Amino acid sequence: MSKPSINEQQKTREPERHLSFLDIVFLSMGGQSPFLSILTYGLAAFLYAGLFGPIAIILGTLLVLINGLVVYELSKRFTKEGGYYTYAFYSLTKRLGFETGWLYVFYSLTYGVAYILGATYVIYHVLGISPWIVGLGIVGITSIFAILGIRVSTKYAIVAASLEIAVMTTLAFLFIQSTHFYFYNPFSVHINFSKLAFAILFGSSIPTGYGSITPISGEAKNARKTISRAIITVILLGGLLAAFDVYAIGDHLVYFHLISNVTKIDILNLIKDRLGIVTLVFVLFASINDGILGALA
């Protein structure tokens, strides 16, 4: 039995194409959970690579970009919904497409659950609210957005992700401002290459939100251009924003001679003590938002 062609499948009924480039970028950036990614992967990269951590994150971003370029080309070839399932089904074999689709479903579920748990821990750690209440609350809000559909979810993602990017940029600026704009040289430190490899690995885990872009190709306007551009934008924006924030935190630790006790420092308490309760409130918003959008992605 011959394999159905992509052109034949394209003729079947498809969802309305209503998502613009910015819609997809913000939806994916929100799903990338910028703040929680920095708290986990970003700080892990910093612990392994020390003051070279921001550069390790950039190297990890470039590593992801190599994979992203492959998806970039595939997204220009296949513009219907399905993402990696579609790519494998039509490029390789039906069986591999089926297996890839189910693996991606499993990955997406664990990805969403991980960020829900991360957001739950942050709220519990700072406010002491029961993890069950926080976790179920985030799941409830996520379920409501899922039921309302992608149009409403996208509108929320645009607003929430925009605010979160602004919060993360402001947070980095405030940390650097606290040092009277002192900038340390990340290349002045000696680093073990095995630790650098681990740091790059953690850094590459940050800009992974582009994976949520490909399944919605069928709902994107001018998908051939929009999806491919969004993939590259999200990888670079997510990775560079994380590197900037980690550099700013490291800059603050160096200036105030806290770097020797970095493993004992609670970043959330550091934000509250150094930058004030208002900044912490916005950070808590970012954490909750990450849990919601990470699950939606």
- Among 150-154, 164-168, 188-192, 201-205, the range of highest mean pLDDT: 201-205
Whole-angstrom Cα distance, residue 124 to residue 266? 14
Average pLDDT over residues 123-151: 86
DSSP string, 198-249: HHHHHHHTSS-GGGGTGGGGGGBTTHHHHHHHHHHHHHHHHHHHHHHHHHHH
The pTM score is 0.86
Average pLDDT over residues 267-290: 81
pLDDT at residue 1 greater than cutoff 50:
no
Question: Lowest-confidence range among 9-23, 27-41, 95-109, 255-269?
Answer: 9-23
For residue 106, count other CB atoms closer than 10 A to its CB.
10
241: its two tokens: 């924003």
Q: What is the CATH number of domain 16-179+192-296?
A: 1.20.1740.10
Structural domain spans, the chain: 16-179+192-296
Closest CA to 252 of 183, 168, 169, 166: 183
Average pLDDT over residues 231-255: 93
Q: Considering only residues 49 and 294, tell me which one the structure prediction assigns the higher pLDDT.
A: 49
Whole-angstrom Cα distance, residue 201 to residue 208? 12
pLDDT-derived band of residue 2, with 50, 70 and 90 as boundaries?
Answer: low
110: its two tokens: 């664990």
> How high is the pLDDT of residue 57?
96
pLDDT at residue 9 greater than cutoff 60:
no
3-class DSSP assignment, residue 72: helix
